[in-house]
Structure 1
Amino acid sequence: MGGSALGVWHDRPGEGQSLRIAALQRSSLFLTPGLVHVHLHHAFHGSPIGYAGLAAAAAASWIGVPGPGEPVLIAAGLLAARHKLDIASVVLVAFAAAAAGGTVGWFIGMKAGRALLSAPGPLHRLRLRALDRGDEVFKRYVAVAVIVAPTWIAGIHRVRPAVYLPLNVLGAVVWAVGIGLGAYFAGPPIEDAVSDLGWVITVGLVLLVLAAVWLELRRRLRRRGMTPPGAADGSTSKILPPPGG
């Protein structure tokens, strides 16, 4: 019986390996959720509100709302430098939200923006000429125009999805990595330098304010004819003629 078992084993050289692979696959069903949980817990350490705020600001900025994206991403990079957030997670969240927001902004511009600009009403001809000029720019320099212009403008000028979506992803990568890592590496030294020079800046600002107040008071006194005595004597003195002249 033992010899026949060995014979069967040698007759099927791949059976043992396939059994080991099947066992590993079955065990991975139990190990994978735990490993994923551990990885996510490690990668996304920090306040969930911070990541949610970053995602909302990045998405809003790339949809077309001016302002919130860059300052919030810089703040997130600084918090990551202080080990309150994870820099890889900051960059990933910023990229994903920016790419999604850019897609939404492009879609809004394509569906509503062009119809709104071409609708009859005030400055109709001027708006149509602006659309024609924009179409020409996007035809000639589509890559630069998509990266530089707001996302909804690309939708207004009907940039095709096959062209826009890859450029949108590329722009989101450059934006998230450039600003996020820039704040992470360059922010703390700049912040330390500013904090070290804080008292110098404060004294300088106080002196500037005092100088501005003094100059303003002097200007008003001169306008009212109430200049200081020395200045008044010099400005109103007359040359008297010599005696007998």
Structure 2
Amino acid sequence: MNKLSALHLRLQYGERVIIKDLTLAFDKPEVISIIGPNGSGKSTLLKALAKLLIPTAGAVYLNGGDMRHMSLTSLAKVLSVLPQSVQAPGDMTVTDLVCFGRMPYRGRFSSLTKADWRSIEEALAATELCALRDQPLTALSGGERQRAWLAMALAKEPKILLLDEPTTYLDIRHQLDIMELVVRLHRELGITVIMVMHDLNHAARYSQRLIALKQGEIVADGTVETVFREDVLASLYGIRAMVTTVGRGTEKQRICLPYATI
């Protein structure tokens, strides 16, 4: 089991401190959403967990080892990150993009091996992109492009997947498609998924754990039932919201309905 943790983390850009002293642990495969208002440090934290931002104090550990002393290649074989805004050349095909996911396993000038192609095919199948494999990225819908980027991340065969607002700019159907895919990948592959989420109802529906950040500090951390509450949301966002449970039969989910600011 792969474990990721942060101990007394301090993150800043220049003189601006975003996160002062944060300690977290991810010690079992779960779907986890990091929620909080704009500027609370959600994406900054995700960057630090992915070694895209080096802490000015404290450290991030992967399986007990300080990530600062690990190569990006070795990290990429365990941990895969999908930032909020990603771009690729317009004429690149889906398969071309997914092939990049095998770079941590290849020499600088080596060709793809049978093992590489097996991982690529599995990633295309998992994201239901086999029929679109030869399509250029420009010919895809927003949801299909997001699935292509997810396929690239999966081709690395990660144990931990970091996603920064994976449903941004997608319509509601494609949002649901992506969230269902993420949960299915967690369930079938046993990977830990850590997401930054703005849509609170998606976070509550698809996550097993919620981490609420405000001004660089953890306001709440726990199950959906313990974090997704009216008092927590009021403190976190400065809003009044009704939290209720909806659904049919055994399919139940908690939703929030904001109705006023505080």
Q: TM-score, normalised by structure 1?
A: 0.24
Instruction: Tell me which protein shows more strand as a share of its residues.
Output: 2
Q: Which has the higher contact order (CA 8 A, sep 6+)?
A: 2
